[in-house]
Amino acid sequence: MNDRIMADMRMTRAEVDEFRALHRKEGRTASGMFLLEGWRALAEAIDGPIDCVAVREDMLDRPELEALRARSIPIREVSERDARRISATEQSQGVVARVRMIWSDVTTLFRPGETIVLALDGVGDPGNLGTILRTASWFGARGVLLGRGCVDPFNDKVVRSTAGSLFHVPMVGDIDLPISLGAARSAGCQVVVADSAGAVDLPDWRPSRRCVLVLGSETHGPSPSVRAAVDLAVRVPRFGRGESLNVAIAAGILLAHMRMHSIS
Amino acid sequence: MNDRIMADMRMTRAEVDEFRALHRKEGRTASGMFLLEGWRALAEAIDGPIDCVAVREDMLDRPELEALRARSIPIREVSERDARRISATEQSQGVVARVRMIWSDVTTLFRPGETIVLALDGVGDPGNLGTILRTASWFGARGVLLGRGCVDPFNDKVVRSTAGSLFHVPMVGDIDLPISLGAARSAGCQVVVADSAGAVDLPDWRPSRRCVLVLGSETHGPSPSVRAAVDLAVRVPRFGRGESLNVAIAAGILLAHMRMHSIS
């Protein structure tokens, strides 16, 4: 084991700067890479496209690193100071992986068979997007379409909120939603938007086995061009008070309904 | 209007410090007050126990302030620098209200009749707690029991995540949950815990019209003494991947089920 540890090279200053550049969207877009922090997230992503892992010098004997060494993934030793510099959180866990982004293609999502796809229209809060991706993974969604105006899913707050689910749900980015929703309908999918002013109450909706669920922005709801592209607007009935449900909560309630009450 | 504006006094340095002390839990506990930021939150809380409102000097003619002046609630003019100092957010909206905490009594929650009560066992993330309170308000819960180990609901991140719902749901704090859950059962309530290892799948659960829903901590789930105090452990079935659902998402799915599929 000792000679393996010896093989982990010290991270150069240039590499530290390359990692740090990934805290900004421009840096991620230019390189096609993003950062994933923490031991648990690393364990969840272990089969993912990990490019390089920075590990604080006192943690090089962590057992999680064996699987990386076995796959010849470069491990770079960093000082405590550099570990803090490449971390986006205040309490660094001492491990940051650089991972290749994976984007899917929209045509794969509407293949024949049972399917649930989410389409997000301007979901701007990183915590909400991360929680939606985690929930989509739990309910086995085939994929998530990210319309223009959504926050970058490789933003570190999103990555953290997914709790490791980022690689479990194929994502398609920078989508023109009205066009893609039209394609979904042509492929026989029911396209439904969650809307607090929707005409159909949730209990009255029997979801199709091929279904696209559209969720709007936290502040403005779904945009008019997206509303015009759906079959149905469904609302979660209100029994108490409040202006609206949080968008991730609405996603969870509707996904649960789609899985448990669809037409069989 | 001008003479009314003249009546708004400048905030003293001592008052600025009093507001700032409320960013810490000790300061809130000592005074029984907390801070509420932003114009939208103020509008939602307008009938609540507002004690004093600090307004940035360039915003004293905002129409929202008329209702406060009509109720003789003190408005204090602050400089831009002081507005930033009393704000907990990086982008201050220029208004911070000091509001009296309201706590309810546990005995009121189990009165006869239809009831939904939430019981939170160590929900530690402010965003999760705020979202749970907002969702409980939407579904008309009668109240929320906060077990020991929950984050302070008057923490500014919680207050922000409730989106104004903090006054819509009665809260009871610092609860010994096993004792209160026993009292709920004695009062004829069904006590159910959300648990990913639960024995009953959500679609198989017919909720009673008197029901207490228990939610556990994000990292450890419900504690053993709480598990031992419930009638039933219900799980949201997994159709895809992931270790667990986010606790606020689980709350939303179960509350929706309780409202839409209860025994009538």
Q: What is the pLDDT of residues A17-54, one digit of tens each?
A: 999 999 999 999 999 999 999 998 888 888 889 999 99
- In angstroms, the CA B197 to CA B195 distance is 5
Interface test with B, best of A39, A239, A244, A264 (most B CBs within 10 A): A239
Mean pLDDT of A185-195: 96
Q: Which of B165, B238, B252 sits opposite A252 (nearest CB)?
A: B252
Phi, psi of A121 (to 5 degrees): -105, 85
Cβ contact, residue pair A246, B135, below 8 Å = yes
pLDDT band at A212 (very low <50, low <70, confident <90, very high): very high
Residue of A nearest to B135 (CA): A245
Region of residue B242 (phi > 0: left; psi between -120 and 50: alpha; otherwise: beta): left
- In angstroms, the CA A66 to CA A55 distance is 13
Of chain A residues 136-175, which have a CB less than 8 A from chain B? Answer: 136-141, 163-165, 168-169
Which residues of chain B are within 8 Å of residue A240 when distances are taken between CB atoms? 136-141, 168-169
Interface test with B, best of A118, A249, A258 (most B CBs within 10 A): A249
Mean pLDDT of A241-264: 93
Edge-to-edge strand list for the sheet holding A75-78: A9-10, A75-78, A50-56, A95-100, A33-37
Is the Cβ–Cβ distance between A57 and A6 less than 8 Å?
no
Architecture of domain B2-100: 2-Layer Sandwich (3.30)
Residue of A nearest to B45 (CA): A242
What's residue B262's pLDDT?
Answer: 85
Region of residue B88 (phi > 0: left; psi between -120 and 50: alpha; otherwise: beta): alpha
Is the Cβ–Cβ distance between A254 and A235 less than 8 Å?
no
- In angstroms, the CA A54 to CA A95 distance is 6
Is the Cβ–Cβ distance between B92 and B83 less than 8 Å?
yes
The continuous run of DSSP H or E covering A145 comes out as strand A143-147
- In this predicted model, what pLDDT tens digit does every residue of B80-94 receive, in sequence order? 999 999 998 888 899
What's residue B163's pLDDT?
Answer: 80
Mean pLDDT of A47-62: 94
The set of residues, in sequence order, having a beta carbon less than 8 Å from that of A211 and lying 6+ positions away, is A115, A116, A117, A189, A190, A191, A192, A258, A262
Q: What is the CATH number of domain B106-260?
A: 3.40.1280.10
Task: Please check whether residue B243 touches A, CB under 8 A.
Answer: yes
CATH 3.30.1330.30 in chain B, residue ranges:
2-100
What's residue B111's pLDDT?
Answer: 93
pTM to 2 decimals?
0.92
Task: Please check whether residue A39 touches B, CB under 8 A.
Answer: no
**Tens-digit pLDDT profile for chain B (264 aa)?**
444 544 679 999 999 999 999 999 999 999 999 999 999 888 888 888 999 999 999 999 999 999 999 999 999 999 999 999 999 888 889 999 999 999 999 988 999 999 999 999 999 999 999 999 999 999 999 999 999 999 999 999 999 899 888 888 999 999 999 999 999 999 999 999 999 989 999 999 999 999 999 999 998 889 999 999 999 999 999 999 988 999 999 999 999 999 998 876
ipTM beyond 0.90?
yes
- In this predicted model, what pLDDT tens digit does every residue of B212-255 receive, in sequence order? 999 999 988 899 999 999 999 999 999 999 889 999 999 999 99
The continuous run of DSSP H or E covering A23 comes out as none
Closest CA to B217 of B183, B185, B248, B174: B248
Residue of A nearest to B261 (CA): A203
What's residue A7's pLDDT?
Answer: 63
Which residues of chain B are within 8 Å of residue A248 when distances are taken between CB atoms? 131, 246, 248-249
What's residue B138's pLDDT?
Answer: 97
CATH 3.40.1280.10 in chain A, residue ranges:
106-260
Strands B95-100 and B115-120: unpaired
Closest CA to A163 of A195, A191, A136, A192: A136
Which residues of chain B are within 8 Å of residue A242 when distances are taken between CB atoms? 134, 137-138, 163-165, 168
The Cα of B62 is separated from the nearest Cα of chain A by a number of Å equal to 21
Task: Please check whether residue A46 touches B, CB under 8 A.
Answer: no
